[in-house]
C-alpha cells in the first residue's frame, strides 16, 4: 500500500516515483478520490477551494498523464474516472465546484477515450447519483440527504460493477442505475428552465448554502 495526500501539489509525482521504484506496472487506474465543500462559494477560503481542485481535477489529469504512456506502450489499459450525475444536470446552489469538477471529468474522459482507443486503452467516466457511502457523513449532510426517497440511492458495490462493465466494454460515459439514466435523459429532452427550477427546489431540501 502507498499512502498519499493528493491535495499536495507534488503528490502525484511522488506517487508515480514510488510506483516506479517498486517496479510496479499499472494497467488499471481508478480516479476515485473525492469529497465535497458544502455551503456558499465565498463561505470557504480560497485555500480550501484550491485543495479541492487539486484533488478533484489536477491530480486526476496528472496521474492519468503520468501513467497513460505505459498503458499505450503495452497496448492495454483501463482508466475509470468517477464522475457524477451532478456533472450532467443543472446545478443548484451549494457544492459550487463539485458539479463543475465532475463535468470536467466527463468531458476529459470522453475526449481521451477517443484518443487512445486505437491503443486498446479504455477510458470511462462513471456517473452515479446518490450512493451509500461515507461521503455525506464526512461533509455533514447525512441528516438532510436521508430525507430523500430510497429509490434514488444505489449501493456502492453496484455502482462499481456497472463502472467495471462499462470500461471493459469501452464505453466512455456510463450513468449507473435506471433512475439516474432516466434523469440524465430527461435533462437532455426537457426545457432547461423546467430542469433548472426543479433542481433548485430539490437542492433546497438537502443542501446548505
- Tens-digit pLDDT string for the chain (209 aa): 899 999 999 999 999 999 999 999 999 999 999 898 988 899 999 999 999 999 999 999 999 999 999 999 999 999 999 999 999 987 777 788 999 999 999 999 999 999 999 999 999 999 998 776 656 555 555 566 566 667 677 888 999 999 999 999 999 999 999 998 998 898 888 777 766 666 666 555 555 55
Q: pLDDT value at position 186?
A: 84
Model pTM score? 0.85
Cell readout for 66 is: 503520468
Would 6 be classed as within a structural domain? no
Q: pLDDT value at position 196?
A: 67
> So which residues are the catalytic ones?
98, 102
Would 12 be classed as within a structural domain? no
Q: pLDDT value at position 106?
A: 98
CB contact at 8 A, 93 and 200: yes
Question: Which residues, in sequence order, are CB contacts of 8 under 8 Å at separation 6+?
Answer: 54
Would 18 be classed as within a structural domain? no
Q: pLDDT value at position 189?
A: 81
Would 161 be classed as within a structural domain? yes
Domain of 84 in residue numbering reads as 27-206
Cα dist from 181 to 20, 85, 126, 152, 208, whole Å: 39, 9, 12, 11, 26
CATH number (domain holding residue 38): 3.40.50.720
Would 2 be classed as within a structural domain? no
Q: pLDDT value at position 90?
A: 79
Measured in degrees and rounded to the nearest 5, phi and psi for residue 125 equal: -95, 120
Q: pLDDT value at position 133?
A: 67
Work out how many domains the chain is built from and give that number: 1
Q: pLDDT value at position 134?
A: 58
Q: pLDDT value at position 191?
A: 77
Would 16 be classed as within a structural domain? no
Would 174 be classed as within a structural domain? yes
Would 111 be classed as within a structural domain? yes
Separation CA 41–CA 46 (nearest Å): 9
Amino acid at each position: 500500500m502507498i499512502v498519499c495526500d493528493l491535495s499536495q501539489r507534488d503528490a502525484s509525482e511522488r506517487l508515480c516515483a514510488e510506483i516506479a521504484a517498486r517496479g510496479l506496472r499499472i494497467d488499471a487506474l481508478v480516479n476515485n478520490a473525492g469529497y465535497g465543500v458544502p455551503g456558499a462559494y465565498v463561505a470557504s477560503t480560497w485555500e480550501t477551494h484550491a485543495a479541492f481542485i487539486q484533488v478533484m481535477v489536477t491530480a486526476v489529469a496528472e496521474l492519468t498523464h503520468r501513467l497513460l504512456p505505459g498503458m499505450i506502450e503495452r497496448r492495454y489499459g483501463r482508466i475509470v474516472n468517477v464522475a457524477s450525475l451532478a456533472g450532467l444536470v443543472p446545478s443548484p446552489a451549494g457544492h459550487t465546484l463539485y458539479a463543475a469538477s465532475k463535468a470536467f471529468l466527463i468531458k476529459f474522459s470522453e475526449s481521451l477515450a477517443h484518443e487512445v482507443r486505437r491503443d486498446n486503452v479504455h477510458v470511462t467516466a462513471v456517473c452515479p447519483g446518490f450512493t451509500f457511502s461515507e461521503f455525506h457523513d464526512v461533509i455533514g449532510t447525512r441528516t438532510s440527504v436521508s430525507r430523500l426517497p430510497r429509490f434514488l440511492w444505489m449501493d456502492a458495490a453496484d455502482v462499481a460493477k456497472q463502472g467495471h462493465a462499462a470500461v471493459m466494454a469501452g464505453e466512455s460515459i456510463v450513468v449507473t442505475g435506471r433512475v439516474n439514466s432516466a434523469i440524465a435523459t430527461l435533462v437532455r429532452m426537457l426545457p432547461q428552465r423546467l430542469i433548472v427550477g426543479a433542481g433548485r427546489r430539490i437542492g433546497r431540501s438537502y443542501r446548505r448554502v
